[in-house]
Structure 1
Amino acid sequence: MNMIAALNDKPAGKLPCTGCEDRDCPIRNSLGDAGLKRCAGAIRQISARPGERIEVSGYQPDTLFRVASGMLMQEHVLGDGRRHVSAFKTDGEIAWPLSNDSMGEIREFYEAVKPSDICVIFVNSVAEATSHPAELMESLYCAAKDEVARDQTRMLTLARSSAAERLAGFLVDLAGRTGRQTKRGVELKLNMRRERIADHLGMQPETISRIMSTFKKGGIIQLPRPTVVIIPNIRTLANIAYGAA
């Protein structure tokens, strides 16, 4: 699906923030209901089915994407066909696509890992509609800072960690963002395929499966289903991730 085509398709796009109860959204908090009405054309929401790919092209430099619900995989494809999964974005997280000037031969895609609603926001137009643009920019700056910190941690993990440490770090990070506390421990759903996790971590799918089996045998995780991971003690897994085990 082409992002711009979807945005221009009026029946496909939802009115901005219709029925949304997310009070943590920096856009909603900065604008208020009156501001949302004034910039109705600056925010659109589209839906994507699992496996549906969204090609990000033709957007303005001020565009950003916020996951209202679901999960998006951010993927970059080089001119020779090589691919890299750079991130998995989940509820409330913001993605800033590569600018057209910096992309060169790189094509950027988002793929829905599970049913997802994505808010497409044109920041300059939104800023003009709010009486508190400084607060809006501060909120977006904080979100960007958190994203940069996460990327720096991941780059360090990929550069200096073993395969087991990389996978443990991935599970700990995802558990902190999407995990659900249960009597057995933190329950984590892995909606993405093992191949995608391997691509994200710079590993082979077979290595992912082997390490998961090792973690299971050691009681570090439980695998009641292929797509469900239960972490009885998150600290134990974190110790592996940070080389303390």
Structure 2
Amino acid sequence: MDGAPTILMERAETGPCCGCEELTCPIRQVVGAAGLSGSPNAVSRVSARAGEKLDVADFAPDTVFRVVNGMLMQEHVSNDGRRHIAAFKTNGDLSWPLPQQEPGDIREYYEAVQPTELCIISVDPITESTPDAAGLVKALYGAARDEVSRTQSRMFLLARSSAAERLAGFLLDLADRTGRATKRGVELKLSMRRERIADHLGMQPETISRIMSSFKKAAIIRLPRPSLVIIPDLKALSNVAVGAI
């Protein structure tokens, strides 16, 4: 894997979950304001610079990753070196490592697309120590169900859509998760390289550039610079995504 370095572990100054204001985190919701007094080593807050990578195989099967802020690129690599960008994880997203049962299994890596903070969570000790184990399992099940639903939507998009529809759907999804409403429209930062987007969508980088140019010419998007997309009318881009244009 190109000698990919792992993300450096940096614990937060406060104890795990204690004083944390990430109230949308399902684990934070269950453990409450007291934090993880019964399992203080179950959560580590870590940070990564853009380009740093994390080998998921280094972690136990009960591990859950949660992006606090920033963006992680989820990459799958087969035994023969072929790779695919499976997803881009953004603020609040949870992820579970692929099971590693055989040496030839697909390996999974996360790469920070931009400066990123995430929590690495060991679920088993939390389940054993929390008085609301059932609530924790329910919360994680709900998060996993939502992730499966998003994955199924991505699979349908890749299998049944044209190149323009795929790119439009990708931009809409990212705008929904990370976009910022402005007077000019929804601003979307594309921190990842065109090659990464192309890999994720099963296209060539040249195709991405060509379609982006066509979207710009049709006034569906604006491109003040390559890393910034402005969507003046989400409906117009949505019409492209569903094949109405």
TM-score, normalised via structure 1 length = 0.93
The 8 Å contact of residues 47 and 118 in structure 1, kept in 2 or not, is answered as: yes
Output the CA distance in 2 between the equivalents of 1:103 and 1:46: 28
Pick which of 113-122 and 56-65 moved more.
56-65
- Unaligned stretches of 5+ residues in structure 1: none
Give aligned pairs, total. 239
Q: Which consecutive segments of 4 or more residues in structure 1 shift more than 4 A? A: none
Alignment partners' CA distance in 1, 2:181 and 2:71? 19
Q: Is the 8 A contact 2:98 2:107 kept in 1?
A: no
Match of 1:152 in 2: 152
1 CA distance for matches of 2:176 and 2:43? 29
Alignment of 1:1-245 (within 5 A): 1-2=5-6, 6=8, 12-14=10-12, 15-17=15-17, 20-101=20-101, 104-245=104-245
Q: Which amino acid aligns with 1:110?
A: Y
How many Å separate the matches in 1 of 2:193 and 2:174? 14
Letter in 2 for 1:216: K
Change (3 A) 1:159 1:170: same
CA distance in 1, matches of 2:190, 2:45: 25
Question: Secondary structure at the residue paired with 1:104?
Answer: coil
Do the aligned residues in 2 keep the contact of 1:35 with 1:129 (CA within 8 Å)? no
Aligned partner of residue 57 in structure 2, secondary structure: coil
Looking at structure 2, the residues matched to 22 and 76 of structure 1 have their Cα atoms a distance apart, in angstroms, of 28
Whether the 8 Å contact between 2:18 and 2:34 is mirrored in structure 1 is: no
Q: Percentage identity across aligned positions?
A: 60
In structure 2, the residue corresponding to 1:37 is in which secondary structure? coil
Residue 201 of structure 2 aligns to which amino acid in structure 1? L
Determine which structure has the larger helix proportion and give its number: 1
Amino acid at match of 1:99: P
Question: Any conservation in 1 of the 2:65–2:118 contact (CA below 8 Å)?
Answer: yes
Asked if the contact 1:157/1:166 (under 8 Å) is kept, the reply is: yes
1:13 corresponds to which letter in structure 2? R
Cα separation, partners in 2 of 1:102 and 1:152, compared to 1, 3 Å: farther
| Rounded Cα–Cα distance in structure 2 between residues aligned with 1:235 and 1:85 | 27
TM-fit CA distance, 1:18: 5.7
Find the aligned partners of 2:186 and 2:135 in 1 and give their Cα distance: 35
CA drift of 1:124 comes to 1.1
Aligned letter for 1:140?
L
Deviation readout 1:125-146 (Å, 9 max, x if unpaired): 1112211111111111111111
| 1:138-163 deviation digits (Å, cap 9, x = unpaired) | 11111111111111111111111100
Aligned counterparts of 1:114 and 1:58: Cα–Cα separation in 2? 22
**What is the rounded CA distance, in whole Å, between the counterparts of 2:61 and 2:130 in structure 1?**
20
Displacement after TM superposition at 1:105 (Å): 3.3
Amino acid at match of 1:144: A
- Which AA in structure 1 matches 2:101? D
SS of the aligned residue for 2:116 comes to: strand
